[in-house]
């Protein structure tokens, strides 16, 4: 299979190396302004993995030429953070092959955001899809650029926008990742994003310790105490209430964690429990400053995770007091107005729509 990987960061490199290891033809692409990522791989002569996946692998093609990357590819996989989705899509849209499948491995309501851009650009032939979460927990954790793969996720949900195209996406992706299952629609994949309930709460509640240690501490074992877990549980309860009002089936955060990470010990009925029993993550340390983490992970989870839930809750008359408080507190702590550039129902193109109309839009791609 010919696979274009769009984004040469740690996530993209892990996917690229894995696909090369099982015999697929990989074209690894990054935008010209991020050409240093491509240059580093060329200089090292390989992508090096350790942990759950091991070995050294070199993609068949390393390029900053998008046409070269996607031309004739069976699937294009987007592996960049949520705040990079639009820039990548705008750069790639003119170059995608006819009827190409474009799968975004990070949900964050990406299909609702990117589908209208494709239609407006005259590319309604494309199949825009998203997964709930990346296939791996992996980080660059050594000076030589080795990527440590701590876990391979056991369950991955995928859906297309519109949902009637999901079967086509699954036929391709299951050949690579057998643990992929079909979600009902792209609403469900975004609701099932496990990062949203706990990342920001942990970051906020450990602010002073984080600054004193510059992030060199045990994120899961030290940072997630029972009170931090209770904040995560409160966020999750509100997430589930919004999903229910929209008539979207979603699992609780503890259930999602056991489904995805049960192999690695994750178990329990509370956020604190499922995160503390997760032995694959037990020694992970952020090792970046409080502000740097805000510019990276928090920049995804607040404006592309929490603000959509808050906005949907307001439209559906579902109270989200904890989510609203975390958005506001995170904005103050980071010195950024996350609501100002965050995703809301208007940016998702569903403002004023009823639950039935939103589900119909996700199923068929047509607004009433």
Please spell the DSSP secondary structure of 238-258, one letter per residue.
HHHHHHHHTT-----HHHHHH
Average pLDDT of the residues of the chain: 96
Q: What would the mean pLDDT of 273-301 be, rounded to a whole number? A: 95
CATH topology of domain 199-364: 1.10.1040
Q: Do 218 and 285 form a contact (C-beta atoms < 8 A)? A: yes
pLDDT band at 144 (very low <50, low <70, confident <90, very high): confident
Q: What is the pLDDT of residues 247-268, one digit of tens each?
A: 999 999 999 999 999 999 999 9
Task: Tell me whether domains 2-191 and 199-364 share a fold.
Answer: no
Could you give phi then psi for residue 104, rounded to 5 degrees? -95, 120
The predicted structure's pLDDT at residue 55: 96
Nearest-angstrom CA–CA distance, 344 and 306: 10
Q: For the chain, what are the domain ranges?
A: 2-191, 199-364
User: Residue 231: pLDDT above 80?
Assistant: yes
Question: Taking each helix axis from N to C terminus, what angle separates 307-315 and 226-245, rounded to the nearest 10 degrees?
Answer: 40
User: Residue 142: pLDDT above 90?
Assistant: no
Query: Among 4-13, 18-27, 139-148, 214-223, whose mean pLDDT is lowest?
Result: 139-148
Q: What would the mean pLDDT of 62-76 be, rounded to a whole number? A: 95
Nearest CA among 133, 77, 138 for reference residue 106: 133
Two structure tokens written together for 162: 């519109």
CATH of segment(s) 2-191 = 3.40.50.720
- Residue 285, Cβ density class (10 Å: 0-12 exposed, 13-18 middle, ≥19 buried): middle
Q: What is the pLDDT of residues 315-367, one digit of tens each?
A: 999 999 999 999 999 999 999 999 999 999 999 999 999 999 999 999 999 87
Could you give phi then psi for residue 219, rounded to 5 degrees? -60, -45
Q: What is the pLDDT of residues 172-218, one digit of tens each?
A: 999 999 999 999 999 999 999 999 999 999 999 999 999 999 999 99
The predicted structure's pLDDT at residue 141: 82
Which residues are within 8 A (CB) of 295 and not within 5 positions of it... i.e. 6 or more apart?
none
The predicted structure's pLDDT at residue 368: 63
């Amino acid at each position: 299979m010919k696979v274009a990987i769009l984004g040469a960061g740690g996530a993209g490199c892990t996917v690229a190396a894995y696909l090369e290891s099982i015999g697929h033809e990989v074209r690894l692409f990054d935008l010209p302004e991020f050409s240093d990522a491509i240059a580093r791989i060329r200089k090292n002569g390989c992508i090096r993995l350790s942990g759950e996946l091991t070995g050294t692998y070199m993609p068949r093609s390393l390029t900053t030429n998008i046409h070269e990357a996607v031309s004739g590819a069976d699937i294009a996989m987007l592996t960049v953070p949520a705040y990079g989705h639009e820039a990548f899509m705008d750069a790639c849209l003119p170059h995608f092959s006819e009827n190409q499948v474009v799968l975004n491995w990070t949900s964050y309501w990406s299909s609702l955001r990117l589908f209208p851009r494709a239609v407006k650009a005259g590319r309604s032939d494309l199949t825009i899809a998203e997964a709930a979460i990346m296939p791996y927990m992996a980080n660059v954790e050594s000076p030589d650029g080795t990527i440590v793969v701590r876990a391979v996720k056991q369950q991955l949900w995928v859906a297309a926008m519109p949902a009637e195209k999901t079967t086509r996406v699954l036929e391709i992706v299951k050949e690579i990742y057998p643990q992929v299952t079909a979600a009902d629609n792209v609403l469900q994949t975004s609701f099932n994003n496990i990062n949203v309930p706990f990342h920001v709460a942990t970051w906020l509640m450990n602010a002073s310790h984080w600054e004193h240690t510059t992030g060199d501490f045990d994120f899961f074992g030290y940072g997630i105490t029972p009170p931090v877990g209770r904040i995560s549980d409160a966020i999750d309860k509100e997430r589930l209430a919004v999903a229910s009002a929209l008539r979207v089936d979603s699992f609780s955060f503890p259930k999602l964690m056991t489904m995805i990470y049960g192999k690695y010990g994750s178990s329990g009925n509370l956020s604190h429990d499922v995160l503390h029993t997760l032995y694959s993550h037990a020694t992970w340390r952020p090792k970046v400053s409080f502000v740097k983490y805000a510019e990276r992970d928090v920049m995804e989870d607040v404006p592309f995770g929490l603000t959509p839930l808050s906005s949907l809750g307001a439209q559906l008359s579902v109270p989200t007091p904890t989510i609203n408080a975390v958005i506001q507190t995170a904005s103050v702590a980071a010195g950024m107005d996350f609501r100002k550039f965050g995703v809301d129902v208007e940016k998702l193109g569903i403002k004023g729509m009823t639950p039935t109309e939103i589900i119909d839009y996700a199923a068929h791609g047509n607004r009433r």
